[in-house]
Amino acid sequence: MFQIRIHGRGGQGVVTAAELIAIAAFNDGKHSQAFPSFGVERTGAPIEAYARIDNKPIRTREHVYKPNVLIIQDATLLGVIDVAHGADKNTIVIVNTAKPESQVKELGINLPGKNIHLIDATKIALEIIGKNLANTVILGAFAKTTSLVSFKSLEKAIKQKFGEKGEEIVNKNIKAIEKAYNF
């Protein structure tokens, strides 16, 4: 079983990102689950959401305490809360930040540097979507670095989840994810 924990702030689409991972994994024919760390979701407050992917049905309901993958949607959380709690030397970390890979140590994440991947998802979001909505963009990097979901299934998940919002939003999100995937 693979466990994913996403850290972000209220209003950044943290829960949506976890749901998209679960939908994409389901599209790949896997068993999956996604849920938020149910809170009173005030804009700007630190928020967590979780996803699980497995080859057999998932029964547990506990939060994700030992993540295989950590997604940090908002680098300003680093140093504010211990985002790495429960992670180990094999945990893959994806951080949305404008910092280059050479400055990875400055982020202060107490995990092996080789597992920490940096992507300026905010920049891609502003360029392509026109809004600071980096949650979907990071999923492109997630698919690339972890191979836990296929790009095709992620694309389908975006269409399923955002279909009601119109073709333009769907296409922009897919384009942004593609850019992050090939980053």
Give the binding site for other proteins (CB under 8 A): 18-19, 22-23, 26, 31-36, 38, 40, 58-63, 65
179, 140 contact by CB (below 8 A): yes
Residue 107: CB minimum distance to other proteins, A: 28
CA distance 78 to 167: 35
Both ends of the chain: CA-CA distance in Å? 27
Quick one: the chain helix, strand, coil %, rounded to 5?
45, 20, 35
Other residues' Cβ atoms within 10 Å of the Cβ of residue 62: 6
Q: How far is CA 97 from the centre of its chain?
A: 13
For 65, the token pair is 């305490």
Closest to other proteins by CB, 59 vs 114, is 59
Residue 16: CB minimum distance to other proteins, A: 10
Closest to other proteins by CB, 19 vs 120, is 19
Closest to other proteins by CB, 78 vs 143, is 143
Closest to other proteins by CB, 23 vs 71, is 23
Residue 169: CB minimum distance to other proteins, A: 19
Residue 127: CB minimum distance to other proteins, A: 29
